[in-house]
């Protein structure tokens, strides 16, 4: 495994077939999850939750509502990103309290920042669908971090949207937790016979992809 991030990102691909016999060790999983927790999010609010699905029986249920894609059950772990459904001032208050405790500052010193965030939340909630779109985007930022961290660790991953979110919510009991499934990722090790690993990565030429202004 190279310690060059460009080498690792070139190496990674959306793994279509996992080796069901190989599991990620606990230390690697811990680093990937910690890296995901360090992902950027607007205001640092993290209006989503990351669920690590290990139970084989639950994963079989999820596979049935994911077009029976083998990654759901064959990967070492299945990661579900679920956005907060009813985003409100209480989430801001909890975040502000966390800032105060972590940085050793009084919550009163954060009132202006809290007001800014509550104004944003109120604005989102005033427009139908805006809150779901915004919180979903934050979850996707975390997904990107997970994929990059996995590549750096030499762990294969496959981001997936081919599933029924409502059924995921039902199976995982997310509605009672004020959560809604946004996107998922299977992580583990590629199967030796996954032909996709031998295909050259296709991306736009840099001169087409990047414009300097």
Give domain status of residue 61, yes or no. Answer: yes
Q: Is residue 178 part of a domain?
A: yes
Domain presence at residue 21: yes
Number of neighbouring beta carbons within 10 Å of residue 120: 16
pLDDT in tens, 17-34: 999 999 999 999 999 999
Determine the structural domain holding residue 11 and report its residue range: 5-87+130-209
pLDDT in tens, 66-90: 999 999 999 999 999 999 999 999 9
Question: Residue 181, Cα to own-chain centre: how many angstroms?
Answer: 10
The helix (H) or strand (E) run that includes residue 12 is none
Size of the chain, expressed as the number of residues it contains: 213
Beta bridge partners of 51: 80
108 in a structural domain: no
Determine, yes or no, domain membership for 104.
no
Q: Number of folded domains in the chain? A: 1
3-state helix vs strand vs coil in the chain, percent to 5 = 50, 15, 35
The CA distance from 129 to 119, in Å, is: 17
Closest CA to 21 of 193, 198, 189, 197: 189
Residue 77 CA to residue 188 CA, distance in Å, equals 7
* Per-residue model confidence (pLDDT) at position 14: 98
The H-assigned helical ranges of 66-110 are 71-74, 89-103
59 occurs within a structural domain: yes
Kindly state whether residue 99 falls inside one of the protein's structural domains. no
Residue with tokens 């579900």: 80
Residue 2 has pLDDT above 90, yes or no: no
Please state the rounded mean pLDDT for residues 140-165: 98
Distance of alpha carbon 50 from alpha carbon 72, whole angstroms: 16
Say which CATH number the domain at 180 has: 3.40.109.10
Strand, coil or helix: what is 70?
Answer: coil
Where on the phi/psi map is residue 205: left (φ > 0), alpha (ψ -120 to 50), or beta? beta
Q: Is 14 helix (H, G, I), strand (E, B) or coil?
A: strand
Mean pLDDT, rounded, of the chain: 97
- Looking at residue 1, its pLDDT comes to 72
Q: Is the pLDDT of residue 3 over 80?
A: no
pLDDT in tens, 93-106: 999 999 999 999 99
Give the DSSP H/E element, type plus range, for residue 113.
helix 111-125
Q: pTM for the complete prediction?
A: 0.96
CA distance 146 to 182: 15
Asked if the structure places residue 195 within a domain, the reply is: yes
Beta strands in the chain (DSSP E): 48-53, 77-84, 156-160, 179-188
């Amino acid at each position: 495994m190279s310690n060059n991030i460009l080498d690792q990102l070139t190496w990674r691909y959306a793994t279509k077939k996992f080796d069901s016999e190989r599991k990620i060790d606990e230390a690697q999983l811990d680093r990937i999850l910690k890296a995901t927790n360090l992902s950027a999010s607007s205001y640092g609010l993290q209006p989503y939750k990351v669920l690590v699905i290990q139970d084989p029986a639950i994963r079989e249920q999820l596979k049935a509502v994911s077009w029976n894609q083998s990654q759901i059950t064959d990967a070492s772990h299945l990661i579900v990103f679920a956005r907060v459904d009813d985003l409100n001032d209480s989430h801001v208050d909890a975040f502000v309290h966390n800032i105060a405790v972590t940085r050793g500052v009084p919550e009163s010193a954060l009132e202006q920042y809290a007001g800014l965030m509550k104004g944003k939340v109120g604005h989102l909630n005033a427009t139908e669908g805006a809150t779901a779109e915004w919180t979903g985007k934050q979850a996707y930022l975390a997904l990107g971090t997970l994929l990059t961290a996995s590549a750096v660790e030499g762990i294969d991953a496959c981001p997936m949207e081919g599933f029924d979110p409502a059924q995921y919510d039902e199976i995982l009991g997310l509605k009672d937790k004020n959560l809604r499934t946004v996107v998922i990722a299977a992580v583990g090790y590629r199967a030796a016979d996954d032909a996709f690993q031998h295909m050259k990565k296709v991306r736009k030429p840099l001169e087409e992809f990047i414009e300097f202004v």
